[in-house]
């Protein structure tokens, strides 16, 4: 069963009392979480390239510019990965610590995540 975390995505809810859109990210197999600059969180998965075992899957969560991802956000996300993988049927929601209710702290709507191959960390 997938281990999912909901992350606010795109704009804020347009109707009063409505929830913003979320992107559910599967974190099954994530073994490392890191910061990348000021508006990205890197997820390293234990799935590897069968044609090159030195390459592993890396997913970068792209928050809107100016989001100010901090080390505390990375720690909180790593803790949430553990929670999501251990609690069956649980889908926690992640927000950046500085979230002020605007969409400045959501995943960017144009490229919310980037997939690539990476060396293990």
Domain ranges of the chain: 4-118
Cβ of 47: how many Cβ atoms within 10 Å? 12
Q: In the structure, what pLDDT confidence band is assigned to residue 67 with cuts at 50, 70 and 90? A: low
Mean pLDDT score of the chain, rounded to an integer?
Answer: 85
pLDDT exceeds cutoff 90 at 10: no
Share of the chain above pLDDT 90, in %: 41
pLDDT exceeds cutoff 70 at 65: yes
- d(C-alpha 30, C-alpha 97), whole Å: 21
Per-residue pLDDT tens over the stretch 77-111: 999 999 998 887 889 999 999 888 777 888 988 88
pTM given for the model: 0.85
Closest CA to 65 of 115, 110, 121: 110
Which single residue is written with the structure tokens 């890396």? 58
Task: Give φ, ψ of 79 to 5 degrees.
Answer: -65, -40
Q: Averaged over 40-67, what is the pLDDT?
A: 82
Q: Tokens standing for 83?
A: 């929670």
45: Cβ–Cβ under 8 A, 6 or more apart, which residues?
29, 30, 31, 56, 57, 58, 59
């Amino acid at each position: 069963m997938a281990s999912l975390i909901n992350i606010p995505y795109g704009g804020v809810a347009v109707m009063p009392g409505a929830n913003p859109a979320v992107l559910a990210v599967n974190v099954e197999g994530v073994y490392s979480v890191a910061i990348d600059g000021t508006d990205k969180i890197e997820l390293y998965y234990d799935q590897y390239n069968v044609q090159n075992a030195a390459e592993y899957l890396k997913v970068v969560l792209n928050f809107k510019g100016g989001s100010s991802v901090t080390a505390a956000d990375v720690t909180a996300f790593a803790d949430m990965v553990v929670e999501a993988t251990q609690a069956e049927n649980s889908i926690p929601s992640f927000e950046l610590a500085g979230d002020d209710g605007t969409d400045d702290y959501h995943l960017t709507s144009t490229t919310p995540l980037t997939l690539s191959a990476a060396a293990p960390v």
